[in-house]
Every structure is written in C-alpha cells, then in structure tokens.
Structure 1
Amino acid sequence: MNDDPEYAPATGSDHHPDDPDHHPDHPLETSDALAALAARVDHTNELLQRMLAEVAKTPSTHAIFVDAGYVYAAAGLLVTGTEDRRSFDLDAEGMIDAFIDKARTIFADSRLLRVYWYDGARRRIHTPEQQSIAELPDVKVRLGNLNANNQQKGVDSLIRTDLESLARQRAISDAALVGGDEDLVSAVEAAQGYGARVHLWGIEAGDGRNQAEPLLWEVDSQRTFDLEFCRPYITRRPVTVYENEGAPPPSRDEVRFVGAQIAATWLVERGREAMAELLPGHPYLPGPVDQDLLNEAERLLQRSLRGHGVLRRALRDGFWQHLQAQF
C-alpha cells in the first residue's frame, strides 16, 4: 500500500463540484445561490415596472386619413346634388378642422399625429388648392395620379402604405379613415395586424350607401357625418353667364377648330398615355372628359353651347380628329 499522501484514496467530500452526484456539504452554498437568483428576479421586476411606468406616461396617438375624392363626391352630392367638383367649392381647411375637433372628442386621451389628405393630380403636380391645403399645420398632402377620365390612380396604395407603416412603427394607436372604397380593406387589415384600431368615418348618402360593405365589416368602429355637418363647408358655384349670349352662335367650323385646339393642349398637359386611353371609346367620351371639353370650349368661345346639339357634336368631332391624327 502506497503511503504517499499524493496517492491517498479520494473521499466523498473530494468529489468535483461538476459531478452530477455532487451535493454541497454546506447549506450556505444553497442559500447564496437562492439569494443571487432572488436578486436577479427583483432587478428584472424593477426594470419591467419602470418600462410600464414610461408606457403609462406616453399618450396614445391617432392620425386621420382622408380620401379627398370620396369627400368631394359624397359631400358634394349630399349638399348640392352633384359629385362634379366644378359645380361647388369645398372649404377643405374648415372640414379638416372639423375632423380634428371630432377626433379630439372621440380620442380624448390621445394626441394627433397629423392629418393625411389624399388626392389626385395630373402628373402628381399640386394644384393651387392642394398647395394651400399642404401649407396647413398638421396636414400632409399625398398625391396619386389623375388619368384622362379624371379618375384617381394610386391613392388607395398610398393610404395602405402610410397606414401600415405607422402601425408597424407603433406611431399610432388609432386611425380615423375617411373613405369608402373596397380597395381600402387591405389597408385596414394591414394596420390592424400591427395592433392599431381603425375607425371608418363616412358621409351620409342620400340614397343607399357610399361605402363598400367589406370595408364596413373590417373596421373597428363606424361614424357617419350628416348634412348639417357638411353643409357649412360646401358652396355651390354660380352659373357662368357670358356677355355675348345675344350674338349669333359660332359656326360649326369655328367650334370644330376649338375642339382640335383643346385636344392639342390636353396632349401636352395630360400626356400621350392618358389621352391614348380615350381612343377605344371613340366616338364617345367619358362623362367627366366630355364635361371638361364643354367647359373649356365655352371658356374659349365666351359663349354657352348648352342646348346647341349640332355645335356640341362639332366640338367632339374636332377633338377626335386631332387626337386620332396623333396616334
């Protein structure tokens, strides 16, 4: 038997601490470990309480998303009986202030991020009216395109992009959406997917509905503004009276030339692609385009063509002749 202490047999108390069968010989080791764990739990709880306190102090935030095309059409029809923007004026600043006041009442413990005003413009160039709206405090104007039929293009995708982005960044907790197009359903779903609540605001329809049912099904709440709410912000424009109404009417050739002149101007202003969209409809023009043509011709001639069917046909003939010659 080797008496060298270096070769002394190991005892139970000499087991390595990493040995799974090892148990501390002293209760003090267990007590220290529990105390350290408790300290870490207390520290974690303290951090959570601080975070919750900060969240509680941070006010919720809301934004208002306005489809201007919907507002013009719905409010104009409700107050004046027509959707044609040329027939009335909209006090956009007054209506935006009314929306802000309403949101302040509904979201009492929330602050306004801003109002987003979505509209269409040819080549996305601001009109003077849109410029004045863009200069309002807390208002952001976002422009889609306007095609040859005076239809907005790209507005719904802009609304979806903004709604989804703000919800994803937790920049808003509530969104008031003023619109009615079914294409907005995907925007609502995207925002809700990130935890935001979406509230649909609409304008009273004289007959039936002016908001898509699938959109009504998806939102968190609905609110409708009636005639009394809209009336102060819509003013019908006076009918134009020309000084030379008593003079003989212009000739068909003169009116045809004016039609060609307008077509040439529109090709430059609206672009060849937009004007080419009209060609498949020959010899008919979409209602809004035909109305624009008539208004512009009357402005150039300084004479009303209402009630002159022959002259109106000559006007369209001149328009189509020039347009077809370009394509």
Structure 2
Amino acid sequence: MVTQSAIFVDAGFLLAVGGTHVSGTSLRSAFKVNYEKLIQGIMKRAADHCGLDVLRVYWYDASKDALFTDEHKSIGLLPDVKVRLGRISFNGDQKGVDLKLGLDLVGVARNRAASVAFLMSGDDDLAEAVEEAQDLGMKVVLVGLDNPNHRLGVTSVAEHLALRVDSIITLPTALIEECFTKTVAEEPRPTPALAVRPPAPPQTPAVPAPAVPAPGPRPSDLAARPGPPSRERTVLPAPRPHRSEAHLVYSSGGSGPTILPPEDSAMDVAHDVGESVAASWYGTVTQGELNELLADRPILPADIDRVLLKDCAQRIGEYKTDLQAVRRALREAFWTKLDQLI
C-alpha cells in the first residue's frame, strides 16, 4: 500500500485568494509572493493532516505560449516541485490548466503513486477528475483559505467541487500573510522611454558675431532641459458611458455559490471592487501604461476587466456578477476612481 501524498496546486486560484486577502484584489501586480516559504507551508499543512511524506507538489499555471517565465523557473527549481503550464489566450484567459491538473490527478491515482491527494482549486470543472481518482482508491482533500462568512467555510470554492471531495482543510491565515506582500505605490512609476517633450534640434557650428549680443535661451533648448514630470499628459475628457453590449468571457475558475447579500447591496459591492482594483492597478503601472489605458477609454483591457469580474464574483458569486447592471457599475466605479487618482 502506498504511504505518501501528492499536492496539486492551481496557482491561479491560490494567488487570487491569497492576493485578495492581503491586497484587496486578485491583480497579480498588486502583490509579491515568497513562493519557497508558501510551498513549504502547504507541504507542512498536508503532512500534519495525514502524517504522510509528500511525493511532490504539482504547480499549475499559465503563460504566453506555455513558456516558462523567470518566476516559473524559480518555482520549478524548488525541491519536490513540478511546474506544469497551460497557455494564456489572446484575451488573457487560462487554457489547458484544468485539463493538465485533472489528468495528472487521475494518473497519479491510477499508478498508485500516492494514496492521498491535496487539491488547491475552486473550479467545479475538476469534480469529475476527483471522482475518478476516488474510484481508483485515492482520497482527495480540498485545501482552501478559511472564510467563516462562506457556508462552505472556505473562499472561492464551487459547491459542486466541495461536495465531491473527501474532506476540506484550510491553510493558516498567518501563512498567507507572511508569504504575500502588498506592493502598491501612490502613483504610477515614470517611464523613461516615454516621449513627452520634443527632442533638441541638432547643433550647428557657431558663427562668430562679436558685435551682436548673445541670444537668450531658445524655446527648443528649454524644452530639452530635464524637469519635473508633468501630469498634463494624462488629462483627458471626462469618462463616457460604457457600451452596454460589452461582454467579456472570463475563466471558469471563479467562485462558487456564496451567502449572497441583499439585492440592493450588490451594487455597493461592485462599487467597492471597482474602486479597489483601480487604486491597486494605478499603483503598480508605469506612466506609459496609464497613458495607453486612457487613450482607449472607455474600453478596458481584458486583463483588467477579468480582475474586476473575478474579484466581484468572490464576494457576491458569479450569478450576481453576470448581471449587466453590476458589470456596468464595476467599470464605472473603476473609471471614477481613476479620475480621482490622476
């Protein structure tokens, strides 16, 4: 009989719930993570629960063209960690992550490489893979972040998945707070390469003119001198209403059913989330990135819109977040807060 466990981590899920707990948003640029300490903490939590050695940690994430980033390489070099990558689609959605995780879960169970699997995910698409692994004799334990206000006791876990695992445990809140660090500045970073002043004209040989007084500084010379950054380049007209037909599809790894607030509070949540994401995004970008966003107004990039929807779904559930009035409120609150910041 196999006497070891395996850990399967959906990085998108873990980073979203951990980042939201620390920084108030799942926007990845809003926080930094000590991955080595985090993974060691997860392994210790698993060992404390079942008393078995850990075969390895399977870490699932996505990147452009499924290529390893420097961050993924650093994680993959940690002891007993295997990084498996899906790809990011043109609109920023993860593709292939759930499929890889489900296949590995069933494969480990079929090969009897582990008797207990610890699963960190909230996606109900994994429910069938969980049941298949259980039919092969493996116990599956769901690992989440403690949330006493959720009827399942954990954050952003689909009920369909929670009903199929053998048990649910939580990570210590202290571990999340030790490993996640909020990184939001008061204003965007300068962009050295951003052209905001005309270049100085090419210099020409000076012509001797002893009888003529030396000319004063030319306007082009003044423009070429370095000076304090100007905010005038970010001033644009007031926001226009968002197009009501705008609709972006976001990944299936969202939250499951939650204890929903009263009807009239869904708009308040949307307002709070929109402001929070705007403040976090504003403090993690360069001036050039801010200018690009303002130039496309009122259209929001897919990655920002997806964070708005995901963060809102964590609080009121996907059903309420799908309402067009809530989505409009999210985007309008984002632009309103951004106007206040710039």
- The answer, yes or no, to whether TM exceeds 0.5 is yes
Match of 2:63 in 1: 121
Number of residue equivalences: 223
Q: TM-score, normalised to structure 2's length?
A: 0.58
Q: How far does residue 229 in structure 1 lie from its aligned partner after superposition?
A: 2.7
Other structure's SS at 1:313 match:
coil
Q: Decide which structure has greater helix share.
A: 1
Match of 2:126 in 1: 184
CA offsets per residue over residues 57-86 of structure 1, 9 Å max, x none?
A: xx6010000000000111111121101101
Q: Say which one has the larger Rg.
A: 1
Is 1:234 matched up with 2:180?
Answer: yes
Determine if contact 1:201/1:224 at 8 Å carries over to the other structure. yes
Match of 1:248 in 2: 232
Is 1:112 matched up with 2:89?
Answer: no
Aligned partner of 2:144: which letter?
Answer: G
Is 1:216 matched up with 2:162?
Answer: yes
CA offsets per residue over residues 188-207 of structure 1, 9 Å max, x none?
A: 01110100000000113485
Determine if contact 2:38/2:175 at 8 Å carries over to the other structure. no
Q: How far does residue 282 in structure 1 lie from its aligned partner after superposition?
A: 11
CA offsets per residue over residues 144-193 of structure 1, 9 Å max, x none?
A: 11113322111111111111111111111000001110001011011101
In 2, Cα distance between equivalents of 1:216 and 1:287: 24
Q: How far does residue 101 in structure 1 lie from its aligned partner after superposition?
A: 1.0
Instruction: Decide which of 92, 100, 109 is 2:43's aligned counterpart.
Output: 100
**Structure 2: tracts of 5 or more residues without a match:** 192-227, 237-242, 251-276, 302-342
From the superposition, tell whether residues 224 and 70 of structure 1 become closer, same or farther in structure 2 (CA, over 3 Å).
same
Aligned partner of 1:96: which letter?
Answer: I
Other structure's SS at 2:7 match:
strand
In 2, Cα distance between equivalents of 1:305 and 1:249: 8
CA offsets per residue over residues 97-136 of structure 1, 9 Å max, x none?
A: 001111221221x221100000011110011101110111
In 1, Cα distance between equivalents of 2:56 and 2:87: 22
Instruction: Decide which of 3, 22, 43 is 1:79's aligned counterpart.
Output: 22
Instruction: Decide which of 4, 8, 11 is 1:68's aligned counterpart.
Output: 11
In 1, Cα distance between equivalents of 2:298 and 2:105: 48
Q: How far does residue 246 in structure 1 lie from its aligned partner after superposition?
A: 2.6
Aligned partner of 1:105: which letter?
Answer: D
Other structure's SS at 2:131 match:
helix
In 2, Cα distance between equivalents of 1:203 and 1:145: 26
From the superposition, tell whether residues 237 and 283 of structure 1 become closer, same or farther in structure 2 (CA, over 3 Å).
farther
In 1, Cα distance between equivalents of 2:64 and 2:128: 26
- Calculate the aligned-residue CA RMSD, in Å: 3.3
Q: How far does residue 287 in structure 1 lie from its aligned partner after superposition?
A: 10
Determine if contact 2:45/2:171 at 8 Å carries over to the other structure. no
Q: TM-score, normalised to structure 1's length?
A: 0.60
From the superposition, tell whether residues 82 and 207 of structure 1 become closer, same or farther in structure 2 (CA, over 3 Å).
farther
Q: How far does residue 219 in structure 1 lie from its aligned partner after superposition?
A: 0.7
Determine if contact 1:92/1:233 at 8 Å carries over to the other structure. yes
Is 1:90 matched up with 2:36?
Answer: no
Determine if contact 2:119/2:143 at 8 Å carries over to the other structure. yes
In 2, Cα distance between equivalents of 1:76 and 1:107: 27
Is 1:149 matched up with 2:91?
Answer: yes
From the superposition, tell whether residues 158 and 316 of structure 1 become closer, same or farther in structure 2 (CA, over 3 Å).
closer
**Percent identity between the aligned chains?**
33
From the superposition, tell whether residues 120 and 303 of structure 1 become closer, same or farther in structure 2 (CA, over 3 Å).
closer
Determine if contact 2:124/2:160 at 8 Å carries over to the other structure. yes
Determine if contact 1:123/1:145 at 8 Å carries over to the other structure. yes
* Higher RCO, Cα 8 Å, sep 6+: 2
In 2, Cα distance between equivalents of 1:151 and 1:233: 25
In 2, Cα distance between equivalents of 1:194 and 1:314: 52
